Amino acid sequence: MRAAVLITGDEVLRGRIQERNAGHLARDLGSRGVEVSRWEMVSDDLPDIADALARLIASGVDLVCVSGGLGPTHDDVTMEAVARATGRALHLDREALALVASRVIRIDASEEVRRRVQEKQATLPVGSVMLPPPGTAPGCLLEHDGVVVAVLPGPPWELARMWADAVGREPLAGVLARAAVADERVLRLYAVPESQLIAAVDGFDPAAWERLRVGICAREGELEVTVRVDPADRDAADALEEMIAAGVGDALFSRDGATVDEVVARRLVAAGQTVAVAESCTGGGLGARLTARPGSSAYVRGGVIAYADDVKSALLGVDPAIIRAHGAVSAECAAAMAAGARERLGSDWALSVTGVAGPGGGTDDKPVGTVHVGLAGPVGARHVALGRGGSREAIRSRSVAAALHLLRRALEEPPAV
């Protein structure tokens, strides 16, 4: 079972808004046994949308999801494009109109303008099934030439809610019911180059590798290995997993798909322990990552964003002499920040991050990308230094991941006797 996704919108195509809907749909469809084989992005142009949609419908997929362009403005033309691509007329859907009227915010305009705004959003292709709007714009489902087309809004929160409702409605529900859900294993490795992973699986049966649809994704120092497992290939999947484990050792930190955030959370909760953070160059990113999970108040005490040197001293107790002697970007400062956060926030563990995220501020001995991560806790102090360059965003996200893995490894150590 295959699907395609069509994203519309000048603001997305030009990079003013980060696209998130294709990923959400691909993940959800994948969990239902539907593979997204392609996705495209087009501007808010009626012919472009209609042509792309007609091409995707004819490409041999079972489902096409279209996102964006359902609002009341002149560039919201997706419903018209869907009608053109499928050879249908448009009509005013009275149920949709009632829903739009109940949700549209009152505007300072004439009754005629308000009527046009509401009717535009309630006009759907003939024969389609209306999807109630989480916001103000209804979507719809229709079937054309044996392909189901789902027309969804652009704002990610609206799309997610409408999609959750749409999967239970025909004709989409019927398509999804025919999909065969394959077992997918996700293995996560840290600080392992892709070349080392390839070396670890050298000699594995190429035909079995192909059947398992092995995928390798590298990000933030991690490798995510996905394995699609049909019942007949479980032995091959087991053999591959053990081959990877033997080849990379402790770098394989998750066999059940759990992220490092989840692994850290599980271990802290199991131990009845807490963590605090002291951040400079990551500006709160580490605290945000730790608190993104529901229930994180059980193990996160709090944090301090100490960007300025005097704040490091005042709030975290970092001795100014350490900064004068070694600089704020140093192993010594990171250690002092972690120790200060642990003491002042009363946590079992504390993580610190200080570095040069760029694009400016680097020196010959501390170039952009130089980051020190510190850990204070029951096992004593730990430290890791990062020295690669990259964009500001990449350096900050990589530093957050390094801090989480530093804590993960410490939590995995056996308790002192």
Task: Single out the residue of 313, 368, 316 nearest to residue 342, CA to CA.
Answer: 316
* pLDDT number for residue 84: 98
CA dihedral angle for residue 409, residue 403, residue 395, residue 227, rounded to 10 degrees:
40
Confidence (pLDDT) at 182:
77
- What is the pLDDT, as a whole number, of residue 117? 85
- The whole-model pTM stands at 0.84
How large a percentage of the chain has pLDDT more than 70? 98
Domains in the chain (CATH in brackets) are 2-177 (3.40.980.10), 183-254 (3.30.70.2860), 260-412 (3.90.950.20)
pLDDT digits (tens, 9 = 90+) for 138-162: 999 999 999 999 999 999 999 999 9
pLDDT greater than 60 at residue 417: no
pLDDT of res. 107: 65
Write down how long the chain is: 417
> Omega of the bond prior to 171 within 30 degrees of 0, cis?
yes
Q: How many Cβ atoms sit within 10 Å of the Cβ of residue 289?
A: 21
pLDDT(350) > 70: yes
Instruction: Write the DSSP string, 317-376.
Output: ---HHHHHHH-SSSHHHHHHHHHHHHHHHT-SEEEEEEE--SSS---SSS-TT-EEEEEE
